[in-house]
Structure 1
Amino acid sequence: MTRVLILTGDAAEELDAMYPVFRLREGGHEAVVAAPTTRPVKLVVHDFEPGWDAYTEKPGHQLPVDLAFADVHPEDYGALVIPGGRAPEYIRTDPDVARIVRHFFERGLPVGTICHGPQVPAALGLLRGRTTAAFPPLKNDVELAGAVFVDAPDVVDGTMVSCRGWPDLPEWSRAFMQVLEKNESR
């Protein structure tokens, strides 16, 4: 069993955040949710509707939080997941998030990013030389961060697994679980 840290905050996309929590638990892993504070985060539902050039956003469920970013000891975890939505846009500026995310990348531990999740490692210079998927409008951001953008549902680059968004979660979670299992056996 791997303890997996999930970094999120208000306005995270509901499926991007909840699907990995439940899938990890189903797979026998411990999913631990961290956010700026320990109050439940307010998730949002993103959808694609006819006549809109961008996705729409509606209020979603609340997600219980286990600990605040400042209280995270990254060495207690074997993997990291960064869900999408708008949360990555602002959590990427948190110094504790930087400390946590660098820990996983520097040690080659499994990191999963979903949709807008790559904004966090991109802001920290951790995508340089990597290959990643992301929400397609982030292609330029990913490339400016020095990464190769791939428009696919389950991009695996070493121990980093990424996808474009919630429609890709079945493919992403299969790939992420395989990376977790492989990492556990080493």
Structure 2
Amino acid sequence: MARVLVLTGDAAEELDSMYPVFRLREGGHQAVVSAPTTRPVKLVVHDFEPDCDAYTEKPGHLLPVDLAFADVAPEDYDALVIPGGRAPEYLRTDADVARIVRHFFDRGLPVGTICHGPQVPAALGLLRGRTTAAFPPLKADVEFAGAIFVDGPDVVDGNMVSCRGWPDLPEWSRAFMAVLEKAALAT
């Protein structure tokens, strides 16, 4: 059983956040949700509607939080997931998030990013030389961060698994679980 840390916050996309938590638990792993504080985070639902040039955003469910970023000891975890939505936009500036995310990248541990999730490692200079998917309008951002952008549902670059957004979650989940299992066999 792996212990997987899920970094999230208010305005994280509901499916990007809840699907990995449930899939990890279904697979026998422990998913631990972390956010700026321990109060439940307010998730949002993003959808694509024919009369809108961008995605729409509606209120989503509350997601219980297990511990605050400041209380995370990253060495207690085997992998990391960074869901998308608007949360990565402000989480990427949090000093504890930087400390946590660097730990996983520095040690080559599994890291999953979904939709806008790559904004966090991009802001920390951790995508340079990597290949990643992201929400397609972020292509310029990830390329500016030194990454190669791939428009795909399950992009695997070593220990990192990324996707474009919630429609890709079945493919992303299979790929992330495979990377997680491979890492477990290696230890």
Decide: shared fold, TM above 0.5.
Answer: yes
Distance 2:86 2:36 in 1: 14
Residues 1:66 and 2:82 are matched in the alignment: no
Structure 1, unmatched stretches of 5+, are: none
**Alignment-derived partner of residue 32 in structure 2:** 32
Residue 153 (structure 1) aligned with residue 153 (structure 2): yes
Residue 163 of structure 2 corresponds to which residue in structure 1? 163
Which amino acid in 2 is paired with 1:172? Answer: W
Per the alignment, residue 100 of structure 1 pairs with: 100
Extract unaligned runs of 5+ from structure 2: none
- The separation in 1 between residues aligned to 2:170 and 2:51, in whole angstroms, is 27
Q: How high is the TM-score relative to the length of structure 2? A: 0.99
CA RMSD of aligned residues (A): 0.2
- CA distance in 2: counterparts of 1:39 and 1:93, whole angstroms: 20
Per-residue Cα deviation, 1:107-151 (whole angstroms, up to 9, x for no partner): 000000000000000000000000000000000000000000000
Give the whole-Å Cα distance in 1 for the aligned partners of 2:91 and 2:44: 16
Q: Structure 1 residue 28: deviation in Å?
A: 0.3
1:10-159 equivalences under 5 Å are 10-159=10-159
Q: Report the residue type matching 1:64 in the other structure.
A: P
SS in 2 for 1:185: helix
Is 2:4 the counterpart of 1:4?
Answer: yes
Percent identity over the alignment is: 88
Deviation, 1:51, is: 1.3
Q: Secondary structure at the match of 1:121?
A: helix
Deviations 1:151-185 (A, max 9, x none): 00000000100000000000000000000000000
Tell me, what secondary structure is at the counterpart of 1:65?
coil
CA distance in 1: counterparts of 2:108 and 2:124, whole angstroms: 16
Q: Partner letter of residue 183 of structure 2?
A: N
Instruction: Please give the alpha-carbon distance, in whole angstroms, between the structure 1 residues aligned to 2:156 and 2:15.
Output: 20
